């Protein structure tokens, strides 16, 4: 299953008093590690989700019917199914499909999927569906004339996208994007169900092995809160930057 | 025969009278609704042509065909050294114009829009240098010099670092004109450039366009400002239901219109 080896502190098992001696200090390291892992997965999934979302939005708004239908199906289905279920389906089905594929290609045995990679892939896939809708709406909100001016001056499709569409839609997209980031940070907790050690999983382990449920779950909660508060600060800065051209109302 | 001789003599006498824009049998439809029903027109180099007519007469569509924002179904367009023939494919659909030809044409035919359409995330200077730098491959230094020159020309130098949202409509339109000038186009298209402006801002924009006309720029102008059209134009085209109903010098069209439609239109508009 590609789980990492347990992050539980080894020190606790070696002492005469066993688990009784385990406390906050012993779990500080693993919890910090879990927090970092949570951030790593979230950042990577977010970046890939943005790419998927841009592709999805362009496909949905574009003239190629096949791509529009695929993008529509993607965003509709992924947004309709509970994320927890999707994560479980994609993780196990993904592992099975990959094993089957590798076997077909002549490799024996089970293919191990790295939990880290799987977590990122699954969360990015879910994010991409929501991003598709955020970007689609943001692009539709650009006054048509601004895009037409890009055409009228002979921009290629790619240059128009890069120089005009993306910067012009960003102010419209940022509030939706920041929502998705906050949801994503919390969704990382869902990948603990497939045994992946991020912040929530580590807190669970800590709580179970020390019996200090309240302490460790509270620590996890406060850590999520701090992450989201820091994110809010970053996003409000980004929004200010993206809106530099807009008159203050 | 005599006609062609006359024509060549005419061309020899005055090189600048070679048409910068020539349109023949231009047809354009939205679906089954035919908007342009065979337009023939010419505009001499350095001349100002105003296109007038009631709304729905096809005048904006005609202008938008000049830089292929709308693609005609049939006919021929010669503009800024490019010749484009429009034709149907076997399936009855118009054959799309080659993208490269379209882009070449568009870098030499610039457009000023009714709604200005400045890019909101660029400053005034950024709007004016965008096309020269990123499409025409002009160096940043030269593009900035060009931009400063043309911003001076439209009287917007002091706002060069401002964003469009902080400018009045008239100021935005003057910046849009500087953006169009900075590409150093062969032909400039104006699509109702003052229709979205408050009455007190119309004058400043018209003054800029008038000074361009005096510089001898080739311009096609769709407008409702009849007095202005009469004053700056070399040629007036009156469109009615997708056809040129009346054309000629401003004197011809405004004082002795031969078509009844044109008479009606003018009397309804000029008080």
Domains contained in chain A, CATH given: 28-243 (1.10.3720.10)
Portion 150-189 of B in contact with A at CB < 8 A:
163-166, 183
Q: With a cut of 90, say whether residue B208 has pLDDT above it.
A: yes
Do residues A150 and B122 touch, judged by C-beta distance below 8 A?
no
**Token digits of residue B90:** 């076997």
A148: nearest CB among B107, B117, B122:
B117
Share of chain B above pLDDT 90, in %: 78
Name the DSSP class of A16.
T
Q: Given this model, what pLDDT does residue B270 score?
A: 62
Q: How many Å lie between the alpha carbon of B117 and the closest alpha carbon of chain A?
A: 5
Neighbours of B256 (CB within 10 A): 10
Cβ B103 vs Cβ B131: under 8 Å: no
Nearest to B122 by CA among A240, A164, A237, A144: A164
Tell me whether residues A159 and B135 touch, CB distance under 8 A: yes
Q: What six digits make up the tokens of B54?
A: 């009631």
Contact B250, B236 (CB under 8 A): yes
Of A55-59, B3-7, B162-166, the least confident:
B3-7
Q: What sign has the CA pseudo-torsion B82, B86, B91, B96? A: positive
Taking only the tens place, the pLDDT of each residue in B171-187 is 999 999 999 999 999 99
Cα–Cα distance for residue pair B13/A54, rounded to 1 Å: 58
Which residues of A lie closer than 8 Å to B, measured between beta carbons? 143, 145-146, 148-156, 159, 163-164, 167-168, 170, 242, 244-247
A147-151, B53-57, B136-140, range with the lowest pLDDT: B53-57
Pairing of strands B19-30, B33-44: antiparallel
Going by C-alpha positions, the residue among B210, B266, B260 that lies closest to residue B53 is: B266
CA distance A182 to A201: 19
- For residue A248, the model assigns a pLDDT of 59
Q: What is the pLDDT of residue A184?
A: 94
CB B100 within 8 A of CB B89: no
Query: Using a CB-CB distance cutoff of 8 angstroms, which residues of chain A are in contact with residue B130?
Result: 153, 163
Other CB atoms within a 10 A radius of the CB of residue A6 amount to 12
B17: Cα within 13 Å, side-chain hemisphere:
9
Asked if residue B6 has pLDDT above 50, the reply is no
Domains within chain B, CATH numbers bracketed: 20-268 (3.40.50.300)
Residue B30, strand partner residues: B33
Q: Can you give the pLDDT at residue A8? A: 52
Please report the pLDDT score of residue B19 as a whole number: 86
Q: Mean pLDDT in chain B?
A: 89
pLDDT at B5 over 50: no
Q: How many angstroms away from the CA of A151 is the closest CA of chain B?
A: 8
Q: Residue written as tokens 């999707």? A: A86
Sheet of strand B218-222, all strands in order from the earlier edge strand to the far edge: B109-112, B187-191, B218-222, B48-52, B235-240, B243-248
The C-alpha atoms of residue A151 and residue A158 are separated, in whole angstroms, by 11
ipTM of the complex: 0.86
Global pTM value: 0.82
Residue B230 Rama label (left phi>0; alpha psi -120 to 50; beta): alpha
Half-sphere exposure for A203 (CA within 13 Å, toward CB):
21
Range with the poorest average pLDDT among B95-104, B163-172, B238-247:
B95-104
Alpha helices in chain A (DSSP H): 10-14, 24-61, 65-80, 83-104, 115-140, 144-152, 157-159, 166-187, 199-210, 213-242
- Cβ contact B58:B241 at 8 Å: yes
Question: Does B104 contact A at CB distance below 8 Å?
Answer: yes
Q: Do B111 and A152 touch (CB under 8 A)?
A: yes
C-alpha distances in Å from residue A129, one per residue of A52, A133, A180, A185, B185 = 8, 7, 11, 16, 43
Tens-binned pLDDT, residue by residue, of chain A (249 aa): 344 445 555 544 444 444 455 677 888 888 888 899 999 999 999 999 999 999 999 999 999 999 999 999 999 999 998 888 888 888 888 888 888 888 888 777 666 677 788 889 889 999 999 999 999 999 999 999 999 999 999 999 999 999 999 999 999 999 999 999 999 998 898 888 877 888 899 998 888 888 888 989 999 999 999 999 999 999 999 988 888 878 655
> How many C-beta atoms lie closer than 10 Å to residue A48's C-beta?
18
Place of tokens 């090189």: B15
Rounded (10°) angle between helices A115-140 and A24-61? 40
Nearest chain B residue (CA) to A157: B99
Of the ranges A243-247, B26-30, B53-57, B135-139, which one carries the lowest mean pLDDT score? A243-247
Let me know: does B78 contact B184? Beta carbons within 8 Å: no
């Amino acid at each position: 299953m590609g789980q990492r080896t347990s992050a539980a502190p080894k020190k606790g098992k070696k002492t005469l008093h066993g688990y009784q001696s385990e406390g906050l200090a012993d779990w500080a390291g693993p919890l910090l590690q879990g927090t970092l892992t949570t951030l790593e997965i979230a950042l990577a999934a977010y970046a890939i989700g943005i790419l998927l979302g841009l592709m999805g939005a362009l496909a949905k708004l574009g003239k190629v019917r096949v791509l529009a239908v695929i993008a529509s199906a993607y965003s509709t289905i992924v947004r309709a199914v509970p994320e927890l279920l999707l994560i479980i389906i994609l993780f196990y089905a993904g592992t099975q499909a990959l094993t089957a594929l590798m076997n077909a290609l002549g490799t024996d045995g089970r293919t191990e999927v790295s939990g880290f990679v799987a977590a990122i892939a699954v969360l990015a896939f879910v994010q991409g569906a929501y991003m598709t809708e955020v970007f689609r709406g943001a692009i539709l909100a650009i006054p048509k004339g601004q895009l037409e001016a890009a055409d009228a001056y002979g921009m290629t499709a790619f240059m128009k996208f890069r120089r005009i569409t993306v910067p012009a839609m960003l102010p419209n997209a940022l509030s939706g994007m920041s929502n998705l980031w906050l949801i994503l940070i919390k969704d990382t907790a869902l990948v603990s169900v497939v045994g992946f050690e991020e912040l929530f999983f580590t807190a669970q382990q800590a709580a179970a092995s020390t019996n200090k449920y309240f302490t460790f779950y509270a620590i996890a909660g406060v850590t999520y809160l701090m992450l989201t508060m820091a994110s809010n600060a970053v996003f409000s800065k980004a929004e200010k930057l993206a809106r530099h051209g807009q008159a203050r109302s | 025969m005599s006609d062609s001789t006359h024509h060549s003599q005419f061309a020899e006498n005055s090189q600048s009278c070679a048409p910068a824009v020539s349109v023949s049998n231009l047809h354009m439809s939205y679906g089954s609704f035919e908007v342009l029903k065979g337009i023939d027109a010419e505009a001499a180099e350095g001349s100002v042509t105003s296109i007038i007519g009631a709304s729905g007469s096809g005048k904006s569509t005609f202008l938008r065909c000049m830089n292929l924002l709308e693609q005609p179904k049939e006919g021929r367009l010669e503009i800024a050294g490019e010749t484009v023939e429009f034709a149907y494919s076997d399936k009855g659909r118009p054959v799309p114009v080659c993208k490269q030809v379209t882009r070449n044409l568009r870098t030499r035919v610039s457009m000023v829009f009714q709604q200005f359409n400045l890019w909101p995330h660029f400053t005034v200077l950024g709007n004016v240098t965008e096309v020269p730098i990123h499409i025409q491959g002009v160096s940043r230094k030269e593009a900035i010099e060009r931009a400063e020159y043309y911003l001076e020309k439209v009287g917007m130098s002091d706002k060069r670092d401002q964003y469009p949202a902080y400018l009045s409509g008239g100021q935005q339109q003057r910046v849009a004109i500087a953006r169009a000038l900075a590409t150093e186009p062969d032909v400039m298209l104006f699509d109702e450039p003052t229709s979205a402006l408050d009455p007190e801002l119309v004058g400043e924009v018209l003054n800029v366009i008038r000074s361009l006309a005096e510089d001898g720029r080739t311009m096609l102008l769709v407008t409702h400002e009849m007095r202005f059209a009469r004053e700056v134009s070399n040629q007036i085209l009156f469109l009615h239901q997708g056809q040129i109903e009346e054309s000629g010098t401003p004197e011809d069209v405004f004082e002795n219109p031969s078509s009844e439609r044109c008479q009606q239109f003018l009397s309804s508009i000029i008080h």
